[in-house]
């Protein structure tokens, strides 16, 4: 059983939904970013999404684009992002870590070498937004063979004809993108999302987690009531970008986690 599977089993037993927090590795700098990541489990985060900074983040809105730029300018790279996971694993061997980003840095490193390093570092899953199911042989299937979950995105435009293809090699959980467009823009509406989550759950036994457009504890609670959990990224990254202290960022994360866990 993977750490992701174990976490969902634990949450189910506790009658809770999953709170997933996204942060950009290396934002605003290596040390501050690492303090935030290490503080996430204690703030109630069930699964950590660790953003891999990349120069051309086409699925991301301004908030996460700027976070990536800050991280890159501070010298963050793929190796340093893997080091975050290694450092967290020294004190936490249960919280799942999912790396999220784009294929180019992994391709540049070499898929085989990356998967060996990621497994050794304690990475549990990958969300690679620019690799469609038609390219599963490229990374998805090798990752699964290496014991790393490959988590796929489903969107409002993923119709019933396309959905089985999206779900085919997905593992860990399904990430439902609640709005059409880029990160950090429109707000997620539970009334719109509920039927879509039900539609996806009709075709898979995997948990369905909802992200994009969730900015407040109340919004996280509303989404958690109709899904298996909520992801918050841009709202957290915005506070980091505004220069808020690590303690203040983690206090905000804690409020989001509490909202989700009420769902």
Q: Are the beta carbons of 49 and 20 closer than 8 angstroms?
A: yes
Q: Are the beta carbons of 210 and 230 closer than 8 angstroms?
A: yes
Active site residue 5: no
Give whole-number Cα distances, 173 to 21, 41, 206, 219, in Å.
15, 19, 5, 21
Give whole-number Cα distances, 14 to 7, 18, 76, 230, 261, in Å.
11, 11, 37, 17, 10
Active site residue 60: yes
Q: Are the beta carbons of 53 and 72 closer than 8 angstroms?
A: yes
The DSSP letter of residue 185 is S
Candidate list 49, 136, 196, 238, residue with the active-site label: 49
* 230 beta partners: 19, 210
Candidate list 46, 60, 136, 238, residue with the active-site label: 60
Annotated catalytic sites, by residue?
Answer: 49, 60
């Amino acid at each position: 059983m993977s750490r992701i599977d174990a976490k969902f089993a634990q949450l189910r037993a506790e009658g809770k939904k999953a709170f997933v927090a996204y942060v950009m590795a290396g934002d605003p700098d290596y040390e501050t970013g690492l303090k935030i990541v290490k503080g996430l489990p204690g703030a109630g985060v069930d699964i950590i999404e660790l953003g891999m900074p990349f120069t051309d983040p086409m699925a991301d809105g301004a908030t996460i684009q700027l976070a990536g730029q800050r991280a890159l300018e501070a010298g963050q790279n793929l190796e340093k992002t893997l080091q975050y996971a290694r450092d967290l694993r020294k004190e936490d061997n249960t919280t799942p870590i999912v790396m999220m980003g784009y294929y180019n840095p992994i391709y540049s490193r070499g898929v085989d070498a990356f998967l060996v390093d990621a497994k050794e570092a304690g990475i549990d899953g990958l969300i690679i937004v620019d690799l469609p199911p038609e390219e599963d042989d490229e990374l998805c299937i090798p990752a699964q063979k290496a014991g790393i979950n490959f988590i796929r995105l489903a969107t409002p435009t993923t119709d019933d004809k396309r959905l089985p293809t999206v779900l085919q090699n997905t593992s860990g959980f399904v990430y439902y993108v609640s709005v059409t467009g880029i990160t950090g823009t429109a707000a997620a509406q539970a009334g719109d999302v509920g039927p879509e989550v039900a539609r996806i759950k009709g075709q898979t036994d995997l948990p369905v987690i909802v992200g994009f457009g969730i900015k407040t504890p109340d919004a996280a609670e509303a989404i958690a009531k109709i899904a298996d959990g909520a992801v918050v990224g841009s709202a957290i990254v915005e506070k980091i970008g505004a220069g808020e202290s690590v303690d203040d960022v983690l206090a905000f994360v804690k409020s989001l986690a509490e909202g989700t866990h009420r769902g």
